[in-house]
Every structure is written in structure tokens, then in C-alpha cells.
Structure 1
Amino acid sequence: MKEQLKIRFKNFALSVIKLCETLPRRNSTFTISNQIISSATSMGANYRAALRGRSTAEFLSKLGIVEEESDETLYWLELIVESGLANSEQVDPLWKECNELLAIVVSTINTTRKNQKTSKS
């Protein structure tokens, strides 16, 4: 599962990069493209860092960053559609995948916290 998620995060980031390459060249596009590429690539990088965490606290901290970056990526996807830079058909698959990855990360955080409390009891 961990290896599959690493691949999903990387493929998601690559898909975001490809989307940005298709956007019209405008001043606003450069800012949005830079921001979404940064947040989308950070998701996978921090997930990998979480897997190398030396403690549960470090693992949870890195997953918290993944959660934040995922939410930020969703924001930029919304702006891309609502500003007319891309249509929803182009963005919807990315939106869906980002939401799925976010749900997995949130579930992992919650399960880890629950297990951490249970082991302390």
C-alpha cells in the first residue's frame, strides 16, 4: 500500500505539471502554476518523508504537511476552473484524485492517533 501511494502521489504531481503546461500564458497563470506545482509536488515529497519518520510524532507531523498541501492544491484547482484558465473536464480527474489522496492521509492520521492513544492506555 505504501509503495502504491508513493506512485499515486508522484503521478498526481506529474499530472498537475502537465495541466499547467496546457494553461494559457497570462501573468496570473504563472503565479497559479508555480503555487499549484509547489503544493502538488510537496504532497508526495512529504509523504515519502513521513514514511522515513523516526518516530510517530515525526510521522504525524509530515502527514499533517501532506494534509495541508493537499488542501492547498484543491484550492488552486478551484481557482484554475473558476478563473476560466481550464475547464472542469480537464480538472475534475485531478480534483478527484487529490480528494482521494487527502482522504487516505486524514484516515491514516486518525488511525495513527487512535493507535497511539490505545498503546498508552
Structure 2
Amino acid sequence: MRSVTSSGANYEEACSAESKADFIHKMHIVLKELRESSYWLKLLHKAEIITNEEPSSILTETEELIKIVAKSVITSKGLRK
């Protein structure tokens, strides 16, 4: 729960960044928190603590957010291919 709410809070912080470097730094934190959320969802599902289909859709959405945030960091750094 902490990593999920932290990623949202850090995203809000990134939206109010004081500089490009600050934005990139905060988006890196968002990325870390989303990856942690993904880890915990997988762990809870494998341990059968969560057994319904919902974790699958939440995990898919988390993975999509990871891709979006990672692309945003890459674009912000000017590392486009």
C-alpha cells in the first residue's frame, strides 16, 4: 500500500518540480515505487494471499504505468532513440 500511494504522491511532486533535474529525479522515484508495487502484487498473488483475477489487471496497469514513466524519464533526459 505504501509504494502505491507513494508513487502517486511523488508524481504530484514531479508535476511541481522546480527544475528539469528535479523533475527527472522525482520521476525516478515514481518509477522505483511503481516497480516496488509490481513486486508486491506478484508476491501476494504467488503466495495466494490474493486469489481473484483483479491482481492480474492491476499488475497489467502497473506495468503500463512503468513503461509510461520510464519513457517520460528518457524523453526528459533527451535520450530518445
User: Which bracket does the TM-score occupy, shorter chain normalised?
Assistant: over 0.9
- Aligned twin of 2:8: 44
TM-score (norm 1): 0.63
- Aligned twin of 1:105: 69
Q: Deviations over 1:51-78 (max 9, x none)?
A: 1001001000100000000000000001
- Aligned twin of 2:24: 60
Alignment coverage as a number of residue pairs: 79
- Separation (CA, whole Å) in 1 of partners of 2:42 and 2:52: 9
- Separation (CA, whole Å) in 2 of partners of 1:67 and 1:104: 9
Q: Deviations over 1:5-41 (max 9, x none)?
A: xxxxxxxxxxxxxxxxxxxxxxxxxxxxxxxx10000
Q: Once the 2 structures are TM-superposed, how far is the Cα of residue 88 of structure 1 from its aligned partner? A: 5.5
Root-mean-square deviation (Å)? 1.1
Larger radius of gyration: 1
- Aligned twin of 1:87: 51
Structure 1 residue runs without a partner (length 5+): 1-36, 116-121
- Separation (CA, whole Å) in 2 of partners of 1:88 and 1:114: 41
Identity of aligned residues (%): 34
